[in-house]
Amino acid sequence: MATVISNRPYHIIVFGASGFTGQFVVEEVARNAKEGPSGSMKWALAGRSRHRLEGVLEQAADSLNKPELRIEVDIIVADVSDADSLAIMCQQGLVVLNCVGPYRFYGEPVVKACIENGAHCIDICGEPQFLEGMQLEYHSKAMVSGVYVIGSCGFDSIPADMGILYTKDHFKGTLTAVESFLTIHTGPEGGCAHDSTWQSAIYGFADSGSLRKLRKKFGHQPLPVVGAPFKKRYGQMSNVNAVLKDNRSIKELSCLSVSRPPQVQYTAYVGVGGVWSLIKLFCGGLIFWFLGKFRLGRKLLITFPEIFSFGMFTKSGPSRKQMEGTSFRLTFFGEGYAEGTEPSQGRPNARICTQIHGAEPGYVATSVTMVQAAITVLNEPQFLPVKGGVYSPGAVFAKTTLIHRLNKHGLVFTLPYIKSSEGP
Ligand SMILES: NC(=O)c1ccc[n+]([C@@H]2O[C@H](COP(=O)([O-])OP(=O)(O)OC[C@H]3O[C@@H](n4cnc5c(N)ncnc54)[C@H](OP(=O)(O)O)[C@@H]3O)[C@@H](O)[C@H]2O)c1
């Protein structure tokens, strides 16, 4: 099994560069090539069709006005179904940015090839079964080869993971609970997501029994609650109707790989706007739940994403204009015990609010978080966990300057307030 060697032809290989998300990742790497080790970056596009990859490179060269990309950036042909092609790809790079999804179908051969051939692997997966399966199967192997396999480095879950770490770092005392509220604002053109994510959700829902079995195999016990336990809410929350979001992956994966996990209770909510949106979401959820159970129903959901998701997912994905008008705000409300107060006694007596805001989350912010994750791995090996392994973003980037890097690239972390009930 190869270990990581620094003198490889490429710092970064964008695999799946011809996909909807891949093309944004390509542009983001091109924009930030100067942030590579010692101020430059050698990088390549990879995928199964040379022709489509050439098209993506051409488009990036045009839209960024960087004609030099056509000669400076190489193309590697590799297919998930061809293990040799994956091995050859991985042997050439230090970090593979894997944009080929749904990961439940295509992800594992890439993780395996990266570990066997000494390349770090970063993905933007939001599928708990894949993320946790990789942790169970490959963590020890990745440790042996010194490879970092870091899942969910897109909008799901870098803002949540790094937001909690930011909140914890700014809280003076013991932070014991955090609730986050996500709101997405769209412009006059509206917004949507590409249907690959819709497909990931359908297959994930249909196979949720396997996820339960996998979690049993893991046998993780919930972390002990520090401080007062807090209740989940489903109702109205500061002008937005909030629905609970399943952030098990964030909560559990953040805990899996750190030796001293932050023992913070965490619940994530998504603002869904007004009552009409809530009704749509409820009806859509019911249809999804019903059709997702049967093969024929799933076929219908996959064939007509636009109809069954009420326009939230489309085969063509959002237009550039829609993305320009879209932004997100993720607000964290934390509570805990001020310095000098014992968490085992009484109610929490201090509060904190932090926020992250940024551009369109699904593709613009996602490509920023993915590329900055890779740049952090390349530039700050001394701040990563000592050995390789399969990690969540919070676990691997806790000691790095990733938050600072994200701040510089449009994901702005702020601290609206810190309050102590004993203070002024
Ligand atoms: N976590 C987040 O915040 C976030 C955000 C965005 C996307 N995502 C996830 O990212 C993944 C990609 O999404 P997308 O919308 O970009 O999907 P997409 O447009 O369908 O792109 C899929 C890519 O995979 C490639 N591919 C498919 N089969 C392959 C194979 N056998 N070998 C090599 N390449 C293969 C495709 O290549 P061809 O062009 O040759 O077909 C294409 O480049 C999805 O799982 C999605 O859920 C996550």
Is the C-alpha dihedral spanning 151, 94, 45, 35 positive or negative?
positive
Give 14's contacts (C-beta < 8 A, 6+ positions apart).
22, 25, 26, 29, 43, 44, 45, 46, 97, 99
* Structure token digits, residue 192: 């949507």
Whether residue 405 is predicted with pLDDT greater than 90 in this model: the reply is yes
For ligand 1, pick from 196, 247, 270 the residue to mutate: most ligand atoms within 8 Å of CB: 196
19 CA distance to ligand 1 centroid (A)?
A: 5
Whether residue 1 is predicted with pLDDT greater than 60 in this model: the reply is no
Helices and strands, number each (H, E), in the chain: 17, 16
pLDDT for the residue 135 = 93
348 CA distance to ligand 1 centroid (A)?
A: 44
Q: Is 201 helix (H, G, I), strand (E, B) or coil?
A: helix
Going by the DSSP 8-state scheme, the letter that residue 344 receives in this structure is T
**Domain extent at residue 42:** 10-154+364-406
Select from 201, 78, 195, 196 the least CA-distant residue to 130.
201
- Is the bond preceding 157 in cis, omega lying within 30 degrees of 0? yes
Q: How high does pLDDT run on average in the chain? A: 89
* Ligand 1 atom nearest 153 alpha carbon: 1
- Residues 68-110 have pLDDT tens digits of 999 999 999 999 999 999 999 999 999 999 999 999 999 999 9
Give 262's contacts (C-beta < 8 A, 6+ positions apart).
164, 165, 168, 175, 254
- Does the residue 2 lie in any domain? no
Same domain, 218 and 282: yes
Number of domains in the chain: 2
Whether residue 378 is predicted with pLDDT greater than 90 in this model: the reply is yes
Whether residue 213 is predicted with pLDDT greater than 60 in this model: the reply is yes
- Does the residue 31 lie in any domain? yes
- Does the residue 4 lie in any domain? no
Rounded CA gap, 66 and 373, in Å?
23
Same domain, 138 and 163: no
**Is the Cβ atom of 126 under 6 angstroms away from ligand 1?**
yes
Q: Higher model confidence: residue 160 or residue 225?
A: 160
* Structure token digits, residue 164: 């909690």
Same domain, 136 and 18: yes
Same domain, 415 and 289: yes
Whether residue 256 is predicted with pLDDT greater than 90 in this model: the reply is no
For the chain, the distance separating the N- and C-terminal CA atoms, rounded to the nearest angstrom, is 60
* Ligand 1 atom nearest 16 alpha carbon: 43
CATH number of the domain to which 114 belongs: 3.40.50.720
Same domain, 294 and 170: yes
**For range 303-318, the mean pLDDT:** 92
Q: List, in sequence order, every beta strand (DSSP E) within 160-264.
A: 173-185, 193-194, 236-237, 240-245
The residue assigned the tokens 């050698």 is: 42
Rounded CA gap, 253 and 200, in Å?
19
Could you tell me the pLDDT band of residue 252, with boundaries at 50, 70 and 90? very low
* Structure token digits, residue 237: 């929350």
**Is the Cβ atom of 20 under 6 angstroms away from ligand 1?**
yes
Q: Crossing angle of helices 158-170/366-379, nearest 10°?
A: 70
pLDDT for the residue 3 = 56
CATH number of the domain to which 165 belongs: 3.30.360
- Residues 325-371 have pLDDT tens digits of 999 999 999 999 999 888 888 889 999 999 999 999 999 999 999 99
**Is the Cβ atom of 18 under 6 angstroms away from ligand 1?**
yes
pLDDT for the residue 262 = 56
pLDDT for the residue 387 = 87
16 CA distance to ligand 1 centroid (A)?
A: 6
- Does the residue 3 lie in any domain? no
- Residues 142-162 have pLDDT tens digits of 999 999 999 999 999 999 999
Query: Hey, whose CA ends up nearest to atom 24 of ligand 1?
Result: 100
**Strand order from edge to edge, sheet including 43-47:** 74-77, 43-47, 10-15, 93-98, 120-123, 148-150, 389-391
Could you tell me the pLDDT band of residue 113, with boundaries at 50, 70 and 90? very high
Backbone angles phi, psi at 270, to 5 degrees: -120, 130
Same domain, 119 and 241: no
274 CA distance to ligand 1 centroid (A)?
A: 32
pLDDT for the residue 5 = 58
Q: What is the DSSP string of 93-127?
A: EEEEEE----HHHHHHHHHHHHHHBT-EEEE----
* Structure token digits, residue 362: 């699904």
**Is the Cβ atom of 16 under 6 angstroms away from ligand 1?**
yes
Same domain, 184 and 119: no
- Does the residue 146 lie in any domain? yes
- Percentage, residues of the chain above pLDDT 90: 73
Rounded CA gap, 50 and 48, in Å?
7
Could you tell me the pLDDT band of residue 7, with boundaries at 50, 70 and 90? confident
pLDDT for the residue 239 = 36
**Is the Cβ atom of 98 under 6 angstroms away from ligand 1?**
no
Backbone angles phi, psi at 374, to 5 degrees: -65, -45
For ligand 1, pick from 99, 205, 270, 363 the residue to mutate: most ligand atoms within 8 Å of CB: 99
Residue type (1 letter), 6: S
pLDDT for the residue 258 = 43
- Does the residue 15 lie in any domain? yes
116 CA distance to ligand 1 centroid (A)?
A: 23
Same domain, 208 and 274: yes
**Is the Cβ atom of 101 under 6 angstroms away from ligand 1?**
yes
How do strand 193-194 and strand 313-314 relate by DSSP bridges? Answer: parallel
Whether residue 8 is predicted with pLDDT greater than 60 in this model: the reply is yes
124 CA distance to ligand 1 centroid (A)?
A: 10
* Ligand 1 atom nearest 100 alpha carbon: 24
Same domain, 280 and 383: no
- Does the residue 1 lie in any domain? no
- Residues 14-69 have pLDDT tens digits of 999 999 999 999 999 999 999 999 899 999 999 999 999 999 999 999 999 999 99
Rounded CA gap, 372 and 408, in Å?
10
pLDDT for the residue 177 = 92
- Does the residue 43 lie in any domain? yes
pLDDT for the residue 67 = 96
Same domain, 39 and 125: yes
151 CA distance to ligand 1 centroid (A)?
A: 15
Residues in the chain: 424
- Residues 155-184 have pLDDT tens digits of 999 999 999 999 999 999 999 999 999 999
Could you tell me the pLDDT band of residue 248, with boundaries at 50, 70 and 90? very low
The residue assigned the tokens 């790989």 is: 257
Question: Would you say 9 and 349 are in contact if contact means Cβ atoms under 8 Å apart?
Answer: no
Same domain, 148 and 162: no
Give 407's contacts (C-beta < 8 A, 6+ positions apart).
413
Question: Would you say 17 and 47 are in contact if contact means Cβ atoms under 8 Å apart?
Answer: yes
Backbone angles phi, psi at 98, to 5 degrees: -95, 110
pLDDT for the residue 23 = 98
Same domain, 100 and 194: no
* Structure token digits, residue 117: 């051939």
193 CA distance to ligand 1 centroid (A)?
A: 13
